[in-house]
Amino acid sequence: MKNIGIIVGSLREGSFNKAVANYVSEQFPEAYQTTFIDFSKLDIYNQDLDETPPESWVAFRNSVKGLDALLFVTPEYNRSIPGGLKNALDVGSRPYGQSVWGGKPGGVISVSPGAIGGFGANHHLRQVLSFLDVYTLQQPEAYVGHIEGVLDDGGQVVDEHTKQFLDDYAQAFIRWIEKF
């Protein structure tokens, strides 16, 4: 059994990104389990605190360490990734030499009500993941725009074209993980 960690960049209760992440998590084969990784309680990274790291950092680092793959589903904030997600990436990357990210296969999906589907966030995230030595699936790229027309009021993915795209993405991601 392989474990895919899903990291949603939005903390919003009714998050569109969470809705898409929920849908994709249900498309993986039975041999894969998914774990949603919560970064909402992380103290803001401060290198001084790493002498005696806060419990929230220790628990977060441990929750990522055992994962076989990482799927990020994120909104775009001001043409980049949300600060909370960047903080989580920073916390997991330290202490120096003990990053919990390196060597894992990863995927990036960005979701937005806008037309360009969070392109800026998607590529800023890829830049960070490249430095963190997370091997991101290159194709297909996943920019899910106009999301409000894709979901119903209950947060279910109902647009058939998007469902097919996300199903194909999930399969490509599994093929990518299996290369490792």
Identify whether the C-beta of residue 90 lies closer than 8 Å to the C-beta of residue 45.
yes
Q: Does 150 bind ligand FNR (CB under 6 A)?
A: no
Q: Does 106 bind ligand FNR (CB under 6 A)?
A: no
Tokens 């960047």, residue located:
86
Contact characters 72-101, ligand FNR, x per CB under 6 A: ---xxxxx----------------------
Question: By CB under 6 A, which span of 12-20, 52-60, 97-105, 125-133 interacts with ligand FNR?
Answer: 12-20
Of 32 and 39, the one with the shorter C-beta distance to ligand FNR is: 39
φ, ψ of residue 4 in degrees (nearest 5): -95, 120
Q: What is the 3-state secondary structure (H, E, C) of 9-67?
A: CCCCCCCHHHHHHHHHHCCCCCCEEEEECCCCCCCCCCHHHHHCCCHHHHHHHHHHHCC
Q: Does 23 bind ligand FNR (CB under 6 A)?
A: no
Q: Which DSSP symbol is given to 115?
A: T
Of 89 and 100, the one with the shorter C-beta distance to ligand FNR is: 89
Q: Does 25 bind ligand FNR (CB under 6 A)?
A: no
Identify whether the C-beta of residue 75 lies closer than 8 Å to the C-beta of residue 118.
yes
- Shortest Å, Cβ 89 to ligand FNR: 17
- Cα–Cα distance measured from residue 95 to residue 175, given in angstroms and rounded to the nearest whole number: 32
Contact characters 53-72, ligand FNR, x per CB under 6 A: --------------------
Q: Does 114 bind ligand FNR (CB under 6 A)?
A: yes
Residue ranges that bind ligand FNR, judged by CB under 6 A: 10, 12, 15-17, 75-79, 112-114, 118
